[in-house]
Amino acid sequence: MIQDLLIGEIVEKAIEEIIELAKRKNKRDASWLKVSCEYLEEHLNTHIKYVKNWSSEISFKDMPKSKRTSEVYIELDLNITPERLKFDEEEGTREASISKIFKQSDNHIVLLGQPGAGKTTSTKFICNSILFDEKYYPNKFNLPLLVRLRDLKSSAKSDNTLIDTLCSILNIQVQSSEKNKEDDLEVIKFNFLINLLEKISPLIVLDGFDEISTHILKRDVLDNFSKLTNQLEKARILFTSRTADYYYSIGNTSEFEICPLTQDQIKQFAIKWLSNDDKAKDFLFALRKSPFQDTAIRPLNLAHLCAIYERVNKIPDKPKTIYRKIVNLLLEEWNEQRRIERTTNYSEFEIDRKFEFMCALSFSLSTAYMQTSFNSTRLQEIYSKIYKDFELPPDQSEQVVTEIESHTGLFIKSRYDRYEFSHKSLQEFLTAEYLVKLPTIPTDKEILHSIPNELAIAIAISSRPSQYFYELITNRLSEMKLGLEFLQTFINRILIEKPSFNVDDKLGLAFLTLYSDYIGSGMNDGGQLRIFIIDNLVNEFEEFLRIIISKTRINSILKKYKFVEKSISVSNIEFESYKLNSKIIENEENIKLPQVLYVRKDFLNSDSA
């Protein structure tokens, strides 16, 4: 800590050494040189106050109030080999942790992570620990120095922006009485900075390389970073960046990448954040039941889910609210809250166009290839089909995807020559967004059969869920032979997504058609219903279907067209099979009916018309 440093003696000795260096370089004449570091202790105290305030709390817009970093932070795991460089899943998994990072390597540290992985929160925890935890590397660091790289500004007078910033923090001033000594001054200033840093022994935190506004400034910072890493030994540097933005090799550095949260870490996080075991238990139960639980592997997403739960005591009923919240958070909101502007290399490829590009990419990946990840060859194939719609260059598929990865984190390079969406649920949501914006529902049976989850989400996010559902069932799926697996997945996702249906006769009949397909898919070759079809999903679906039927005139419609074929009884549940006069019958209201309906008798005991 500063109180333990003899600041006056340190400055005096550092100045003496730099003067001697100047004398040796200029034949023992240093009369032209003035070096000072006045009021260093006051400057350091001011900076430490700034670091303390920055690192002590975590806050964002969804939070009712800020939280102390020390109270909510959980230990994160690290990979020594960044994901994008791995050849397989087993290579270099969870080989270090944040608390042991400075024991793992004597080099300077480059800490990488996907958007929302916890890079900045980890640096806050480290700075806070140096300031207040006497057991946190007491023999390595006396104090933290923080440079938030997004605050740096390019200067026409200097290409040493980072070095100049550190000199400003320490109030280093080097002046000359001779105009022809400018180049010497820069060298002496740098050497004095190194000399002083080595004597102070700080941890220098350079946070947010990906947040630097221009490529020129990024290059400037990398050059300065390389100079510092090659000179500093006692003083250490912690450099953070989004993974996609950092593809450099800097001497005397070790790279680590933050791992996704494990289930145990998610549990620890919820308990710490909510400060109540019962609330945390209820939250985790609700999260496990949701289709977006995979997004909780990132601390940023999990923190926002916890904050929403903390504020309203539940996770929003409709998953589409969370999909849109997380996508918007990663696309734009998180940058806006931190006042970060990310510039694109492509004109007209702003946030909304990136979102549309991701939807098109997701749809192609989910339907044409039926995959969640793919290599660069497959990426080029998909890109070649959609790049013209976004006015992008034809030969820059990987560059475009890298920019999207850097700016949003929705899409990542997960292995060497392997790309994937960061969360499966968000890929499903983006595909559904693409579906609902098409002029019509696709007619290709193979496409429809490959995306049951996406179709259910499309119903939920459409502007008219009832009409979309009716059209999908009667004009698309009714003409397909749907298997039990598709139906179970589709029905289960409908129940989870909770579309805002406007109940009418068409909707009721469409749901009864879907139910009949489900029951029919459970028939064996002898026309007998298999016992296993009567499961929890059927029970939940039937409860939902009762509500729909109670608000429609389905009985009247069936009476007009049906005749009873036979009754089936399974586990004391009676079904009736209704065979219609033709495969598809339309009445004056343009309601389409399938050839056969399997209906539980107790569904039709009364007519609500």
According to DSSP, the residues that pair with 146 across neighbouring strands are: 205
Dist. CA 277–CA 150, nearest whole Å = 38
The DSSP letter of residue 332 is I
Q: Are 109 and 294 in contact (CB under 8 A)?
A: no
Dist. CA 450–CA 486, nearest whole Å = 8
Dist. CA 47–CA 228, nearest whole Å = 20
Residue type, 35: V
Kindly give the parts of the chain with pLDDT less than 50. Answer: 334, 531-532, 606-609
pTM of the model: 0.71
What's the distance, Cα to Cα, between the start and end of the chain in Å?
A: 80
Per-residue pLDDT at 416: 64
Dist. CA 600–CA 574, nearest whole Å = 6
Q: Which of 292, 437, 442, 464 is nearest to 360 (CA)?
A: 437
Helices (H), 151-276: 161-169, 182-200, 215-231, 263-274
Q: Which of 488, 457, 489 is nearest to 472 (CA)?
A: 457
408-455 per-position pLDDT tens digit = 667 677 666 667 776 788 888 999 999 999 999 999 998 999 899 999
Residue type, 153: K
Dist. CA 130–CA 136, nearest whole Å = 6
Helices (H), 476-522: 484-497, 505-521
Dist. CA 77–CA 100, nearest whole Å = 10
Residues whose CB is less than 8 angstroms from the CB of residue 324 and which lie 6 or more positions away in sequence, other chains included: 429
Burial class of 18 by CB neighbour count within 10 A (0 to 12, 13 to 18, 19+)? buried
Dist. CA 291–CA 322, nearest whole Å = 10
Per-residue pLDDT at 531: 45
Burial class of 170 by CB neighbour count within 10 A (0 to 12, 13 to 18, 19+)? buried
